[in-house]
Structure 1
């Protein structure tokens, strides 16, 4: 999404009309920005390309260009299989895409983007690539090694976003906690957070994709220091059984993860912890799944997402036999999520009667949908507000929770 926004900003600066997913269908050129992360993402990307090529064959489009991870990884095969695409570009070939439009890459536009999100929030990429060697992950094959953006450039981008009306930024990278090691020879995520927290008008700063091994604990001190850094941490753990963690090359044990979670919660009481898990990794047994369930019962994470294992060429796990059928992977994932659903319901019930500051995202079916600082966009809970008062996206209001469901809350406006 961020890459598409940057490309769109460059095109617009070159006086080319550009729209994200144009509903009017009055465009003549399409750029499909693909994902190549797991099977489902690859399938969705290929289907989208084929749909656009079909429109071109019917005379409704002049050109179809493809960029992004799938194109980076499988360009040779795709050029043969889908000849209707006019040009393929990798993940780092933005200037080459612009040349197709006789457009210049404008370095002075660093940080300029045409937002595809509502104007009150945006994703802020602080680094590209990853130096980790997780055995299941193909991202380093597509995105290369970790490259941090300078603190000054990130702060400048945040300031621009605030001028566009952005009030919340979600910090993203393939791995946040490695930030700064390449540029400054030390981890500098805490320093980056301090600099961002000082940006006037930036109300919420949210952290996504932290890696647990060698987690920089000074980040938590900064979280406590600045009220506009959300008490929220997304830290994918991937599994709980030590044999699976070792096979996944995660560089951490279950006991170390438990100790880390306890230390984080002690340092930032009330922090919302989100994690992501994988089921169906080669060799995973039913006992390993049971261990993951026991881990969730012990840890009681606030938010959990789950992926089924995808067998990816070029990864070290590709040498292992993908020996668990897809339907069994899905069954295991469902089992995990049913347990987490109960935990989420219980945690939400505890919120009834409490008052939360929320940001309004949109109005839908006559009700306003908002989020607390403990909820990121699309992946987490929503707060349903029943009110006759007129609210706008991006408004901050206080809501007293009156009802709680598995993944959502409902409440009424109160004065701060």
Structure 2
């Protein structure tokens, strides 16, 4: 009998896709594979790490140490580590945590198959064992990033932007549709640069339009766009195709010109405001998700006040934020002195998120009385849990529908629902 392998994925959905590809290969080789099990019991563990910011690195290291202890206690035969943290600190980690049998970089996890005495099967290169519910999947269209943001270690970890060919992506979409996937979260380190390396021009609008034409693709949602050189034809594609969700995840990071310059974002406050104006004008009802950063080296009180005013007036339907942490090797670490105290960073972060909570509540309550198309993700306690086109899995609000005797909803199916109530985060609905 083949042994059981536990895969643990930390960090972003791009890592999750890598884990799903590995899981498919291992299962094809005859292994029993679990993913993010609450109580891993396998003889072999593979940890797919994140190395983006300090908190993520700490979480990854703590997870490795937890499994290293299990190995020392005889509860684990082999421990392997892959992913972004491993890519960046391969030699250092091998010296610091010798209990790990081998560390792999982000892109050489196929070697793990060979080290297990198995061959990587190229015929399965488009296949994955989904760890998400059967009706949605993440679709990674590129790797790496050519941007030079001051604070970001991603280009150091992943290297230059590498787009996947359009035809290969569309083939994968058709394969996933044939397996029951209806909803696609399109992801990349930087979506809007897609195609420049392969085709010498931005091709994201064409890719999304061709995806939307594939029968069975019900929803397409876009994650991780960049504000500079935004491909505006994408807004036309979103407006003209009902299955392209009116949703844009675009990391803006800041709004003051001084901070945007220090961050090397290659975009100004005026350009950012015009981008938001065009999005809302050209795609009525669009929901914009953004990420903002506080406490970057050089951020003054005036910069932060400007950011707060931006959050109040822009009224982002979805917003996340994080405190700057100096990452070695980045432009900021080499050229700026980080003089913003940690306590002040966290205080600014809390203040910004408190502001957003009232915006989010306003957005949610404005939906009361509206009719929405909802996909059902799961049954949890006395509620069916679903989402609208404006809600991405894991990170956005959900729609709660009371599980009453006269309804029998199917997970993965779409329903027409009337929103009857809202709180600061979630919506409550009844099926029409």
Range of TM-score over shorter length = over 0.9
1:161 Cα shift? 1.5
Aligned to 1:317: 332
User: Would you say 1:54 and 2:72 are equivalent positions?
Assistant: no
Contact 2:382 2:403 survives alignment (8 Å): no
Work out the CA distance in 1 between the residues paired with 2:39 and 2:307. 47
1:191 Cα shift? 0.9
1:19 to 30, 34, 58: 34
Moved over 6 A (4+): none
Contact 1:239 1:292 survives alignment (8 Å): yes
Contact 2:141 2:163 survives alignment (8 Å): yes
User: Would you say 1:240 and 2:258 are equivalent positions?
Assistant: no
Alignment of 1:83-94 (within 5 A): 83-94=98-109
**Residue-by-residue CA offset, 1:310-352 (whole Å, 9 max, x unaligned):** 1100000002222222222111011111111111111222111
User: Would you say 1:266 and 2:281 are equivalent positions?
Assistant: yes
Does 259-268 or 7-16 show the bigger shift? Answer: 7-16
**Residue-by-residue CA offset, 1:34-73 (whole Å, 9 max, x unaligned):** 0000011101100110111111111111100000010110
1:24 Cα shift? 5.8
Work out the CA distance in 2 between the residues paired with 1:410 and 1:23. 29
Work out the CA distance in 1 between the residues paired with 2:395 and 2:47. 23
1:407 Cα shift? 1.4
Does 25-34 or 227-236 show the bigger shift? Answer: 25-34
Work out the CA distance in 2 between the residues paired with 1:91 and 1:24. 25
Give 3-state SS (helix, strand or coil) of 1:273's partner: strand
Aligned residues: 414
1:138 to 148, 153, 174: 153
If the length of structure 2 is used for normalisation, what is the TM-score? Answer: 0.94
User: Would you say 1:188 and 2:203 are equivalent positions?
Assistant: yes
Contact 1:5 1:114 survives alignment (8 Å): yes
**Residue-by-residue CA offset, 1:367-398 (whole Å, 9 max, x unaligned):** 01111101111111111112421212211111
Work out the CA distance in 1 between the residues paired with 2:348 and 2:38. 38
1:394 to 409, 412, 427: 412
Work out the CA distance in 2 between the residues paired with 1:204 and 1:382. 16
Contact 1:178 1:187 survives alignment (8 Å): yes
Contact 2:19 2:48 survives alignment (8 Å): yes
Aligned to 2:137: 122
Alignment of 1:122-271 (within 5 A): 122-271=137-286
Aligned to 1:374: 390
Work out the CA distance in 2 between the residues paired with 1:209 and 1:278. 15
Work out the CA distance in 2 between the residues paired with 1:94 and 1:41. 20
2:318 to 303, 306, 311: 303
1:23 Cα shift? 4.5
If the length of structure 1 is used for normalisation, what is the TM-score? Answer: 0.98
**Residue-by-residue CA offset, 1:98-148 (whole Å, 9 max, x unaligned):** 111112122221220011111111110000000000000000111010000
What are the ranges of 5 or more consecutive residues in structure 2 without an aligned counterpart? 1-15
Give 3-state SS (helix, strand or coil) of 1:209's partner: strand
1:111 to 126, 129, 138: 126
User: Would you say 1:409 and 2:427 are equivalent positions?
Assistant: yes
